[in-house]
Amino acid sequence: MTQPTTEEVGYPLADLKVLDFSRVLAGPFAGRMLSDLGADVVKVEPPDGDITRLWGKVVGGVPGYFNQQNAGKRNICIDMRADGARELVFDLVAKADILIENYRPDVMPRMGLGYESLKDVNPRLIMLSISGFGQGGPESHRPAYAPIVHAEAGLMDRQARRGDIPFRDLPLSVADTNASLHGLVGLLAAVIHREKIGLGQHIDIAMIDATIATDDQLHYDLEGSEDSGPLPNFAWETGAGPILVSADVRYLWHLLTTKLGIDDPTNKEMELSMKIGLRREKIVEFMAAFTSLEEIEETMARMNVAWGTVRDAATIQEQVTVKFRGAIVQIDDRAGGTRPITQSPYRFSNAKSGVRGPSSHRGEHTHEGLTEWIDKPPFEIDAMIEAGVLQFDAETLT
């Protein structure tokens, strides 16, 4: 497999070299986006591998979850417990622009790879550290995956309260991806700042900070004002399948009666609860009468109301805009075929972006990466493999 090179033209980040020490999602997603934007991202994986190599459908020796978050990256495997491992990392750091890690805050320093050590090797290095509760705080020691932050940040409670359901986790790892995207913004800001001051820096992103910062509903909780917000959007059953209508049900009823001529079955003498019940029954009846999405589209357009199909995610490739914009693309599955993967969301008028190849096997680019980055002679690389400093997945690479 030929991996993309930094000489490719048209990618906005084509000159950046990135060491990705992260695992699971919060760090790898940022690395994936940097790769999609043209950076040369080398994932440094431990001998026991990223745990996401256990998740998802395995095709060509690569599981789906790992593939989605690590596509386009090169891969070397270093045993940090081995003699000479830290020195090898220092050699790589000397050539790197960015280093990403999402261990607990004490882990990198214990390996001798804390920012204070790395900046001595490369003062221009920009290091992104993503952790659940940030650096140097009372809970910095706590391990944290997205569900922990969903619970601590109040998302699970709000979901249960508003949906009248038991406490349960969200169906996506939003705390991870929010932290990753905020980390990406911080990295790119630091790259620009480095051009001004000539120095890199350490970026401390806490998942709980990123979650709170992007929680557009939090002010209701902080100010005890949830009753001042709009009513929730409702999903309705139609003859063409369930749809969600993005409109306060009171406003929707107003539109149905004023624009479409629906009769109001209530009168002024009725109690409010009876009025609400009768009007809701009328809306249910109205929605159930639709027989096609085209009919729904025409009717909602007459009212200028936003709506959407309640879609099974397995059918996302059939969604019209997703298909038109290529939000899901096919890439090499490393087994003679292709497999679907999410595409980069960035669309530039004068630059390229996009997934640049499948993810790598553990240790796949040991010789290639070390030769290109630090001019390591092949015999020295072989010696480090023999000593166990460098490792690879023998099942997929031999």
Tens digit of each residue's pLDDT, the chain (398 residues): 455 544 455 999 999 999 999 999 999 999 999 999 999 999 999 999 999 999 999 999 999 999 999 999 999 999 999 999 999 999 999 999 999 999 999 999 999 999 999 999 999 999 999 999 999 999 999 999 999 999 999 999 999 999 999 999 999 999 999 999 999 999 999 999 999 999 999 999 999 999 999 999 999 999 999 999 888 899 999 999 999 999 999 999 999 999 999 999 999 889 999 999 999 999 999 999 999 999 999 999 999 999 999 999 999 999 999 999 999 999 999 999 999 999 999 999 999 999 999 999 999 999 999 999 999 999 999 999 999 999 998 877 76
Query: Rounded to 10 degrees, what is the CA torsion of 37, 372, 367, 76?
Result: -40
Structure confidence at residue 230 (pLDDT)? 87
Spatial contact of 77 and 391, defined as CB atoms under 8 Å apart? yes
Would you call 48 a catalytic residue per the annotation? no
Annotated catalytic residue: which of 176, 204, 215, 393? 176
What is the set of domains in the chain, with CATH numbers? 17-217+328-397 (3.40.50.10540), 243-309 (no CATH)
Q: In which residue are the tokens 């009725």 written?
A: 270
Spatial contact of 392 and 46, defined as CB atoms under 8 Å apart? no
Q: Which amino acid, residue 112?
A: G
Q: In which residue are the tokens 């033209």 written?
A: 9
Structure tokens at 4: 């993309």
Structure tokens at 267: 């009168």
Distances (CA, A) of 214 to 181, 218, 219, 387: 11, 9, 11, 47
Spatial contact of 157 and 129, defined as CB atoms under 8 Å apart? no
| R_g of the chain computed on alpha carbons | 26
User: What is the β-pairing status of strands 338-342 and 390-391?
Assistant: unpaired
3-class SS letters over 104-129: CCCHHHHCCCCHHHHHHHCCCCEEEE
Q: What is the pTM of this model?
A: 0.91
Neighbours of 123 (CB within 10 A): 12
Bridge partners for 45 per DSSP: 77
Structure tokens at 379: 């015999």
Identify which of 200, 187, 214 has the alpha carbon closest to the alpha carbon of residue 27: 187
How far is 206 from 182, CA to CA, in rounded Å? 10
